Structure 1
């Protein structure tokens, strides 16, 4: 139902909420739930103004799936308790500079595309030195093809991505610099013939 969300703002003690098809009126009710700690907004998010999400001072985990109309994500840095952030298939997300205020706060970050749509990202350079332990870059097209900024992410032990995000040599460089980090593509055998051609 189009307005089936109406009244959810009265559920003031909710700590976890997973919902989909979030339009602006629905979103405006959700951000009144001040006790929320875990929020998953599923496909599609049609709300365009998410500035009021800063009201959710206790929010630790946030996942946004297909926020197609959101032009600016910097408001997410105003969530003081946030430790896990996942954004999938964000049409207007290209530069990652806005994430810098979360450098020492995130434990997990996901910037992902969808099954059918690649998430275009300019560079990982803004993530240099981040404190997160896990990073997912599923179906991401990286313009500069450079994984070097992840070398300085000293807590990063798990990288999840497709091999197409960067050349073979970039994965090998990161693997050599960070033997403590796990990534499927650090093993040349997982590249099959493509890896053998690059080794020769």
Structure 2
């Protein structure tokens, strides 16, 4: 095995943490210092907060104007509308379950750079998110009603795109063709996915792409062709040893 492959586990882990935004994440610290039972408990000067909706415990969130990073769970439409008033927000993580029905309130977040949405069960159209002028990272997990990724074809400002299934449910991507040629794209995150056309060649056309985290959703020959076209790209499936390990596939 090529000696360069020995660095992939640590390199890939570092890149995954970096592009998913977990590089500086300490869950213990978040639990002890930034988690609040109700939005009213968040200090006015706080820049970070983590809140899970229980009845109306989110109601004071719109007054927390210093917030730059918010983790919010069980978000419904009224909670989302309140979040849309946080004009200084740069990072927003909408954790499972996300119950919002209209993403329009987020369009007011002109400084938002990082957005993740987990299990948006009531939404099928995400295209308006591309109107966010500062957005660079967009991660959507388990979007059961999203029909395809065609809406990403003009997302030249995005640096990280993650469209992923859940642990027990694969998301079907028809083709990576909509991502071909995206000028700023540096990372594609697509674990728990199926790829209908089995072609990886569109990704070779993304000039800045440096990291691919993906399910084994294409033939080995496709990964070999991609590696030949983009030897600078980091992907675990470029390692021959990875193909000797059994793959456990979730249902769906």
TM-score, normalized by the shorter chain, greater than 0.5? yes
Check whether the contact 1:48–1:71 (CA below 8 A) recurs between aligned residues: no
1:176 aligns with 2:228: yes
1:186 aligns with 2:238: yes
SS in 1 for 2:78: helix
Check whether the contact 1:134–1:156 (CA below 8 A) recurs between aligned residues: yes
Could you tell me which residue of structure 1 aligns to residue 63 of structure 2? 10
Check whether the contact 1:137–1:162 (CA below 8 A) recurs between aligned residues: yes
Cα shift readout 1:126-178 (whole Å, capped 9, x = no counterpart) = 00012211111111111111111001111111100121x11111111111111
SS in 2 for 1:90: coil
SS in 2 for 1:17: strand
Check whether the contact 1:160–1:183 (CA below 8 A) recurs between aligned residues: yes
Listed as ranges, the matches of 1:33-44 within 5 Å are 33-44=86-97
**1:121, CA displacement in angstroms?**
1.3
**1:77, CA displacement in angstroms?**
0.6
Query: How far, CA to CA, are the matches of 2:93 and 2:148 in structure 1?
Result: 23
Check whether the contact 1:46–1:69 (CA below 8 A) recurs between aligned residues: yes
> Among residues 185, 189, 193, which one is paired with 1:140 in the alignment?
193
Unaligned ranges ≥5, structure 1: 195-200
Could you tell me which residue of structure 2 aligns to residue 116 of structure 1? 168
TM-score, structure 2 normalization: 0.73
Cα shift readout 1:96-131 (whole Å, capped 9, x = no counterpart) = 12112322x111111111111111111110000122
SS in 2 for 1:7: helix
The total of aligned residue pairs comes to: 192
1:56 aligns with 2:109: yes
**1:189, CA displacement in angstroms?**
2.2
Unaligned ranges ≥5, structure 2: 1-53, 247-252
**1:10, CA displacement in angstroms?**
1.1
> Among residues 153, 156, 170, which one is paired with 2:206 in the alignment?
153
SS in 2 for 1:109: strand
Query: How far, CA to CA, are the matches of 2:203 and 2:147 in structure 1?
Result: 18
SS in 2 for 1:110: strand
Stretches (4+) displaced over 3 A: none
